[in-house]
Structure 1
Amino acid sequence: MTLRSVRSQSFSTLAVCLAAGALAGCGGAAGTGTSSSGGYVAAAMATSYPDTLPVQYRRQEVTDPTGEAPGTIVINTSDKFLYLVEPDGKAMRYGVGVGREGFGWTGEAKVGAKQEWPDWVPPAEMLQRRPELPLRMAGGPENPLGARALYLHRDGKDTLFRIHGTNEPKTIGQAMSSGCIRMVNFDVEDLYQRVPLGAKVVVR
C-alpha cells in the first residue's frame, strides 16, 4: 500500500510514512477480532441521524461508481463519501469526515479487527502535539472513536488508521481528522454489521 500526504509527499510504504511522523493515525486499542470494549459495553445503539447532518451525507444506496468487487470498502476523500460495494452494480454510500491537510492518505488496507465502543489510546505523535490528552480513554459516548471502530491493517500489522464513529457529527463532510475516517454513529453501526474481518479497503 502506497500512502501519500495531501501535501504531495510520496512514500514507498506505510511503515516509512509512519516512521517519518507524517501521519499520526487515531490510535485506539484493538484485539485480533470482533469484540466489545471492556471499558464500556452498555451504550444503546444510535437510532437516527443528528438533525444537523446534511441530507447528502446520510446513508443511501446508489449506482456503484468505484469499479471494485462486492464487499470492498472504497473511500473517496475528495467527495467525503465511503462506499460499500454491493452485487449487481450497487453500493451503499455513507458520508464521512477525512484527514485534514497534511494528514490525508491514499492506498489499500484490510479490516484487521473490529470493536464495539472501543477504547481510545492516542498515538505518540498526537500526544507530542497535545500533551494534555489522556493516555487512554475508555469506550463510551464521550470517546472520540464513537460507537464502533474498524481497524485497518496491512501485512498483518496495525496501520494506526481506523474507520470509526464520532461524537462530533458536525465534522462529517469535512477534512478535520488525524487521518482516520469518521462516520456518524448511526452509520458506523450499520457498516460494522455489514463488513467482515479481512474486507478490502481502498482510500482514494
Structure 2
Amino acid sequence: MSRNGSETRRILWALLITVLAALAMGQVAAAQELRGVVGKDREHVVAPGEDLYHLAVGFGLALEHLAFANGLGTSSTWVAAGTHLRVPGRRVLPGNPPAEGLVVNLPERGVFLFRQGRFKKFFPLAIGQPGGFATPQGSFTLTSRVVNPTWLPPEWAGLGEIAVPAGPGNPLGDRWMGLSLPGIGFHSTTSPMSIGQAVSHGCMRMYPASAQELFEEVRVGMPVRIEYETAKVGYDPQTGEFCLAAFPDVYGQADPRWQAAQALEEVGLAGLWSDSDLDRRSRPTGVARPILQADAQIKVAGIPLDMEFPALLLGDTLWASSELPRALGLEVSWDGRSRQVEVRRAGRVLSLRVGSQEVLPSPAPPRGEKVGEFEGSWHYQGTARMVGGRALLPVRLLLDTFAIPFRWEASERVLEIEG
C-alpha cells in the first residue's frame, strides 16, 4: 500500500464508505433478480506427496476454499493420501454485476471478473485483518495499473520515510491495481501461502500468476464493488437447481444462517425449510449446494413447453411464470404498483396478487373461489408468488379458471395440458 495522509484518516474514510455502501445495498437488495450459478464441483483423490496448498493453487482456489468445503483445518497443508476432496468450483454470482468490472465478496475470499456483460473468472484473494485493517466495502473505481510498483510503507509498517523498490523485499509483488480509495488495491504478493486468509492491512493480495492475469483484463476507470455476503442464493439453468452457498463470517458482520434466511426471502423461497434444515444448509462451507430442484415439466398437446423460467413444485402447488398462460393463448397483464397479475379470456378474469388473496372490487372470499359476476365477467381470485423477480402463478387455479383440461403425472412430475 502507498501512504496518503494519516492512517487514522484512511480508516475513518473507509468506515464511512462501508456504512454508506451497506445502507445503499440494503435499499436495493429486494429488487435484485435471481442470480446465476456457474461452474461445477469436482472430486479429487489425493495422491501421495500432494498437499492442500499446491492442490488449491492448481485448482485456482485458496487453501481455505478446499478446507472449508471438506471440513478440514487451515493450520496445516497436510492431507492424507487417498482422501476424497470436494473441489468447490461452483459459484453463485453476485447480484446486479457490472457489464465490465470486478465484484469482491469478502467472506468468499475472492473476486469475480465480468467482461462484455458476462462472468469470466473467479480469483482467490487474501483480505484485510478483522478490526482496523478490514478491507473496506463499497463501490470504487480502478485508478491505477502499475508493473513492478514501488512500495511507500505506511505508518503501521514502522519503516520510516523510505521507498521500497520492486524486488523480493517488496510485499506488493510485481503488479498493483489501485482503487479510488487511497492505499487500497489488488496486488501480487511475496507471501502466496497467505491467499485465502484475512491477514493484510486492507489490500487484496493475489497469487502472482493470478495478479498478472487480472492485470491484463482490467482498465483504469473500471468499477470495483466490494461487498460482504455470508450467504447467497442462485439458480443453475444447466441443472435446474436452486443453490445456497454460505461462507464464514470473517468480520462478524452477518451470521450466515441469518443472511441465508434473508437471501431466501428476497428471491421468494422463504418458509420452505424447517429451522433445523436451514441451519444445516447454511453451514459456512463455501459450497453452492442444491436446495431445490426445478424438475417439473409442462407439456402442451404432448410437446414440452420451453420456458425461460422453470416451473416450481412447492409443497403440493405447481407454480409457473406468465409464459404458461401466454402459451395457452390467454391475455396477461401485470401491474407493478399493485403487484397484481390479471389473466383474461372470453369473459373470465383471474386476478392474482403477490402475497395476497384479495380481489377488487368485490370482498375477498377464500382462496381460489369464484367471487361472482360483475361487468359481464366471471371474476376469480388467488395469490401469486414472487420468485427471482418474477411473478409465478398457481397452475391448477389457472387451468381450472379457464376450464383447460389437464392431467398430472405425479411419479414423473409432468403436467399434460390438452392443446
| TM more than 0.5 | yes
**TM class, shorter-chain normalised?**
0.5 to 0.7
Q: Report the Cα offset of residue 132 of structure 1.
A: 4.2
Select which of 89, 100, 104 maps to 2:129. Answer: 100
Change (3 A) 1:70 1:62: farther
SS at match of 1:51: helix
- Structure 1 equivalent of residue 154 of structure 2: 123
- Structure 2 equivalent of residue 181 of structure 1: 204
- Structure 1 equivalent of residue 104 of structure 2: 75
TM-score, normalised by the number of residues in structure 2 = 0.34
Contact 1:144/1:167 (8 A) holds in 2 = yes
Separation in 1 of the partners of 2:178 and 2:167? 17
Deviates more, 1:86-95 or 1:138-147: 86-95
Separation in 2 of the partners of 1:150 and 1:20? 18
Residue identity opposite 2:189 in structure 1: T
Contact 1:86/1:92 (8 A) holds in 2 = no
Change (3 A) 1:20 1:188: closer
Q: Report the Cα offset of residue 122 of structure 1.
A: 1.2
Greater length-normalized contact order (CA 8 Å, ≥ 6 residues apart): 1
Listed as ranges, the gaps of 5+ residues in structure 2 are 15-52, 63-88, 228-419
**C-alpha RMSD of matched pairs (Å):** 3.0
Change (3 A) 1:88 1:70: closer
Select which of 155, 166, 174 maps to 1:147. Answer: 174
Residue-by-residue CA offset, 1:76-135 (whole Å, 9 max, x unaligned): 1101011111346423100000001111220111111110010100123x2xxx424672
TM-score, normalised by the number of residues in structure 1 = 0.66
Separation in 2 of the partners of 1:195 and 1:20? 25
Separation in 2 of the partners of 1:160 and 1:63? 29
1:84 aligns with 2:87: no
Residue identity opposite 1:99 in structure 2: G
Listed as ranges, the gaps of 5+ residues in structure 1 are 1-14, 25-49
Q: Report the Cα offset of residue 153 of structure 1.
A: 1.1
Residue identity opposite 1:76 in structure 2: N
Separation in 1 of the partners of 2:212 and 2:139? 22
Residue identity opposite 1:197 in structure 2: V
| Number of residue-to-residue matches in the alignment | 156
Separation in 1 of the partners of 2:100 and 2:90? 15
Map 1:1-204 → 2, pairs under 5 A: 18-19=8-9, 21=11, 51=54, 53-54=56-57, 55=59, 57=61, 65-66=93-94, 67-87=96-116, 89-102=118-131, 103-104=133-134, 105-124=136-155, 126=156, 130-132=157-159, 135-153=162-180, 159-204=182-227
Separation in 2 of the partners of 1:23 and 1:144? 24
Q: Report the Cα offset of residue 160 of structure 1.
A: 1.1
Residue identity opposite 1:147 in structure 2: D
Residue identity opposite 2:164 in structure 1: M
Which structure has the larger Rg?
2
In terms of fraction of residues, the more helix-rich structure is 2
Identity %: 23
